[in-house]
Each structure stands twice: as structure tokens, then as C-alpha cells.
């Protein structure tokens, strides 16, 4: 399994430039001697899968998947060869994992972990707490009853998968577009502290996983990403364990990406990793490929951008219906988008990544944990 700590620092940080120079020298020599341009020499420096191409800069390239798709061998041959990380499209959500109070079903998640481990792939966890896809029974819970149910759900779920998850989306989609908190049952019943309580519980249940806040429309510097930024800044200042921000990136050819990289950079500078967690791009052809290229180039340019996950990989199975948003078409043919991603990853071989940073737990143990009234309250 490729975990955040299993990639040796020396490999992650190896320089690309000397290799490029060597290739150029050989090509030039070939040209001088034979008069033939040696394109093949240059080609050998290029990885030919998304996972291998991303690995050259210490990053992962993943996809969302689900056991329900695995009966199709065209599907699984791409799944097993192209990606270095998997995430369950639905199988680890609250409604799937705890259909009745205190009754857990981890079958979907377990199958995904097993397949990933058999193929040397990492696993992202998605998602412990979200206003959507809750089991029906949480709608009848108020105040501390909902709080206790949430904490128990996190403890059991993150505990079950402990040691197998590279990073968890602990909390999903808790902000409105204006940067305020979404008025979900979670926010209304538990008040402002519910997000940090979720992170504290996840940290206790799986101290080795990186813990992420994940949301959509964080694709630039805007009111919503400002709100998330302020929360992360506050968490770091108070020692609440948070390691990363997930930028979902459900995009289209109309998306304004003018501050996309700057937004990744400001979170990186703040001291958390960033993950592109659910990338898909409605559209087609060169316009679609250009968006994929822009996102990939932004990630590899930002040291703490740990990797990219696309929300599926073939248009045959996408939650966005007929928007053809993925890098393979419905007949498993690679689209222009695929080549754009692969080329951008290959061009970044040797650049830095934030994946080697420690989970927040280490710093947290030394500072806030002992004194935190929140931890005392939950203990």
C-alpha cells in the first residue's frame, strides 16, 4: 500500500533536471552522428500511467470506485493499472456503514481496502460526517443525542479502518457559498463546535490517518474558501487536529480557475496539505482537456498538494449523467483529457510534495490535547 509515509523522502525529492539534461545530450549526440532525431530516448523518461506519472513527484493519482462496477473486466484492468489510490464512491458514507443505530456494515469499505491493498494502492476515506447520505434514523436525533451518535459513528468507523486509510474526509460540505456554516441538522443541533469534535474523535480513532475537511466550490479564492481558510487557521491555532483540505473540484469548461493555484498555495502556506478529491469536468475535447491540465499543473506546482482523485474515470459510470466529465469515454477510450493530465504529471517529475508531513496528532499531543476542554468533555 502506498501510504503517506511509505514514499522515501529521497525518492520524492529527487531532481528531474539532470535526467532531462542527459536525455537532451543523448538526443543531440544521436542527431549529430546519425542525423536521426531520437524521439524514443525522450519517450522512455515518461511514465505511461497516471499513478506512475504522479509518483515521480511523490504524489498519488486516484479514483472513486465501488465494488458494483468490478464485474466488468475492461473497467477493472484500468482501475488496477492506472491509479495509485482508491476512494469509495458511496460505500464508506454514514448511511452505508451504520444503517441502524449502532449496527455497522463495513462490507463495501472492506472490499475496497482489500482490492486496493492487493494492487498496492492507497485508500482515502470518504466521509465520516456529512449533511447528505445520513441514515434515516439520524433525522430523529436532537442535541446531545445527535452529538453522541456522531462521535460513536466516527469512533467505530475510523476505528474499524484504522491503519488502512491514508487520509479521511472527516467532515464534508459544512459551509455555504457565502463562507458561513451550512445550516444542516449537524450545525443546528450541535452548534459551532461539531466540526472540531468530529476531528478530535477521528484523531483518537485513527491517529495515523491524515484528517481532511472536504468541500466543493473551493476552486479559487472566494467567500466560501475564505470561510474554510478561517476555520483551518483557527483549528491550527487552537491545536484541533486537522491535516488537510479536500478541494472537490466538480468543474466544467466554464469554470473560472484564475485563482485555483493561488488558493491551493494559501492553504499549503497555512500549514495543511491539499488534496484534489473529486475532480470531474463537464464538457469535451480540448476545452475539457485544458481544465484537467490547469488543475493538474496547479497541484504539482504546490508543494503540499498531495495528489488528485477523479470522481470515477469512465463516462460509463459518472454521477454527472450525460456531462461526459471523465478522462475515459463510455467505451473506455482515453480522451484528450487523459493525455493532458498524464503530460502535466510527467512534466512535474521530481517536484516537491507535502505528503511527507506528519499527521496532526504529533503536534497536537504536545500542545492542546492535555488542556483542551473539548477533549476533557469527550473523554
Compute the half-sphere exposure of residue 52: CA atoms within 13 Å on the CB side of its CA: 8
Q: Which is nearer to ligand XIL, 317 or 332 (CB)?
A: 317
173, 196, 297, 303: which one is catalytic? 173
Peptide bond between residue 286 and the one before it cis (omega within 30 degrees of 0):
no
Least Å distance, CB 55 to ligand XIL, is: 25
Q: Which is nearer to ligand XIL, 12 or 93 (CB)?
A: 93
Angle formed at CA 5 by CA 342 and CA 358, multiple of 5 degrees: 115
Least Å distance, CB 89 to ligand XIL, is: 5
Q: Which is nearer to ligand XIL, 104 or 319 (CB)?
A: 319
β-strand partners of 72 = none
Least Å distance, CB 90 to ligand XIL, is: 5
Residue 278 binds ligand XIL (CB under 6 A) = yes
Q: Which is nearer to ligand XIL, 89 or 203 (CB)?
A: 89
**Radius of gyration over alpha carbons of the chain, in Å?**
21
Q: Which is nearer to ligand XIL, 83 or 364 (CB)?
A: 83
Which residue number places its CB atom closest to ligand XIL? 319
Residue with cell 456529512: 130
Secondary element (H or E) of residue 158: helix 143-160
98, 197, 278, 297: which one is catalytic? 278
Report the site for ligand XIL in 300-359 (rule: CB under 6 A).
319
Residue with cell 514514499: 7
Secondary element (H or E) of residue 104: none
Q: How far apart are the first and last CA of the chain?
A: 32
Number of residues near ligand XIL (by CB under 6 A)? 6
State the burial class of residue 284 (Cβ atoms within 10 Å of its Cβ: 0-12, 13-18, 19+).
Answer: middle
Cell of 274: 491539499
Least Å distance, CB 246 to ligand XIL, is: 9
> Distance between CA 59 and CA 77 in Å, rounded?
22
C-beta of residue 232 within 8 angstroms of C-beta of residue 213: yes
- Angle subtended by helix axes 223-238 and 194-205, to nearest 10: 60
* 278 assigned to active site: yes
Report the site for ligand XIL in 236-265 (rule: CB under 6 A).
248
Residue 57 binds ligand XIL (CB under 6 A) = no
State the burial class of residue 298 (Cβ atoms within 10 Å of its Cβ: 0-12, 13-18, 19+).
Answer: buried
Least Å distance, CB 8 to ligand XIL, is: 32
Least Å distance, CB 318 to ligand XIL, is: 8
Residue 69 binds ligand XIL (CB under 6 A) = no
Q: Which is nearer to ligand XIL, 206 or 278 (CB)?
A: 278
C-beta of residue 243 within 8 angstroms of C-beta of residue 212: yes
Least Å distance, CB 250 to ligand XIL, is: 6
Q: Which is nearer to ligand XIL, 213 or 267 (CB)?
A: 213
Could you count the other beta carbons within 10 Å of the beta carbon of residue 350?
A: 17
Q: Beta strands 210-215 and 122-130: pairing type?
A: unpaired
Cα→Cα distances 159→29, 104, 205, 242, 244, Å: 58, 12, 5, 17, 19
Residue 90 binds ligand XIL (CB under 6 A) = yes
Among 85, 138, 172, 309, binds ligand XIL (CB under 6 A): 172
Among 4, 87, 88, 89, binds ligand XIL (CB under 6 A): 89
Write the interaction track for ligand XIL spanning residues 97-136; mark x where CB under 6 A is met and - where it is not: ----------------------------------------
Least Å distance, CB 172 to ligand XIL, is: 5
* 89 assigned to active site: no
C-beta of residue 221 within 8 angstroms of C-beta of residue 266: yes
Q: Which is nearer to ligand XIL, 90 or 339 (CB)?
A: 90
Residues that bind ligand XIL (CB under 6 A): 89-90, 172, 248, 278, 319
Residues classed as catalytic: 173, 278
Amino acid at each position: 500500500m502506498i501510504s503517506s509515509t511509505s514514499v522515501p523522502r529521497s525518492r520524492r525529492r529527487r531532481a528531474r533536471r539532470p535526467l532531462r539534461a542527459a536525455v537532451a545530450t543523448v538526443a543531440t549526440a544521436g542527431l549529430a552522428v546519425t542525423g536521426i532525431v531520437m524521439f524514443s530516448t525522450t519517450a522512455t523518461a515518461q511514465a505511461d500511467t497516471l499513478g506512475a506519472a504522479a509518483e515521480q513527484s511523490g504524489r498519488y493519482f486516484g479514483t472513486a470506485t465501488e465494488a458494483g462496477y468490478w464485474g466488468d473486466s475492461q473497467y477493472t484492468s484500468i482501475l488496477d493499472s492506472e491509479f495509485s489510490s482508491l476512494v469509495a464512491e458511496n460505500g464508506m458514507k454514514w448511511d452505508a456503514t451504520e444503517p441502524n443505530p449502532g449496527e455497522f456494515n463495513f462490507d463495501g469499505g472492506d472490499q475496497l481496502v482489500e482490492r486496493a491493498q492487493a494492487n498496492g494502492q492507497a485508500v482515502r476515506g470518504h466521509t465520516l460526517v456529512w449533511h447528505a447520505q445520513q441514515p434515516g434514523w439520524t433525522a430523529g436525533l436532537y442535541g446531545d443525542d445527535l452529538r453522541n451518535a456522531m462521535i460513536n459513528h466516527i469512533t467505530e468507523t475510523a476505528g474499524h479502518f484504522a491503519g488502512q486509510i491514508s487520509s479521511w474526509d472527516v467532515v464534508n460540505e459544512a459551509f455555504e457559498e457565502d463562507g458561513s456554516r451550512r445550516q444542516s441538522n449537524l450545525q443546528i443541533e450541535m452548534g459551532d463546535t461539531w466540526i472540531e469534535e468530529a476531528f478530535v474523535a477521528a484523531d483518537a480513532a485513527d491517529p495515523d490517518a491524515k484528517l481532511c475537511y472536504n468541500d466543493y466550490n473551493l476552486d479559487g479564492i472566494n467567500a466560501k474558501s475564505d470561510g474554510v481558510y478561517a476555520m483551518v487557521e483557527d483549528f491550527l491555532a487552537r491545536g484541533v487536529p486537522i491535516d488537510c483540505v479536500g478541494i472537490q473540484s466538480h468543474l466544467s469548461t466554464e469554470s473560472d480557475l484564475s485563482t485555483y493555484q493561488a488558493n491551493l498555495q494559501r492553504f499549503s502556506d497555512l500549514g495543511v496539505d491539499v488534496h484534489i478529491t473529486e475532480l470531474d469536468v463537464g464538457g469535451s475535447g480540448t476545452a475539457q482537456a485544458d481544465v484537467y491540465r490547469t488543475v493538474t499543473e496547479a497541484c504539482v506546482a504546490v508543494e503540499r498538494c498531495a495528489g488528485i482523485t477523479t470522481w470515477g474515470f469512465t463516462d460509463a459510470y459518472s454521477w454527472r449523467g450525460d456531462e461526459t466529465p471523465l478522462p475515459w469515454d463510455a467505451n473506455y477510450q482515453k480522451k484528450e483529457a487523459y493525455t493532458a493530465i498524464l503530460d502535466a504529471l510527467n512534466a512535474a517529475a521530481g517536484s516537491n510534495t507535502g505528503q511527507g508531513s506528519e499527521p496532526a496528532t504529533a503536534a497536537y499531543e504536545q500542545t492542546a490535547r492535555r488542556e483542551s476542554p473539548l477533549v476533557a468533555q469527550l473523554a
